[in-house]
Amino acid sequence: MVRKEKSAATAFVESAERVEWVEVVLRDGQRYQGNVIRNPIRKTGSIVNAVDETRYDFPLDDVQSVKRVDDPRLEVDEPSNAHLS
């Protein structure tokens, strides 16, 4: 049996699937943030951003890098100090 090695892009996206919120940078410089879904059969990925209600599909080979970023859904506003005046 011949085993194919994974491309770096595929490895990036696979690891991103395990992380809640990531930023995907494509080779052309475009950046997308959200949750990653990978389709290994079609060799594509999707990044879904629930905050902006967007989805972007991309070929796995177009991925330059993937990094974990803070999830904007978890950011809490600072409490107001207006009552202290």
Express each pLDDT in 54-85 by its tens digit.
999 999 999 999 888 888 888 765 555 555 54
Express each pLDDT in 9-21 by its tens digit.
677 677 666 668 8
Rounded CA separation 24/22 (Å): 6
19-69 belongs to CATH 3.40.50.620: no
Examine the pLDDT at 40 and tell me if it is beyond 60. Answer: yes
Does the global pTM surpass 0.75?
no
Q: Which of 16, 55, 56 is nearest to 36 (CA)?
A: 16
| Cα–Cα separations (whole angstroms), residue 55 to 13, 36, 76, 78, 79 | 15, 10, 24, 30, 32
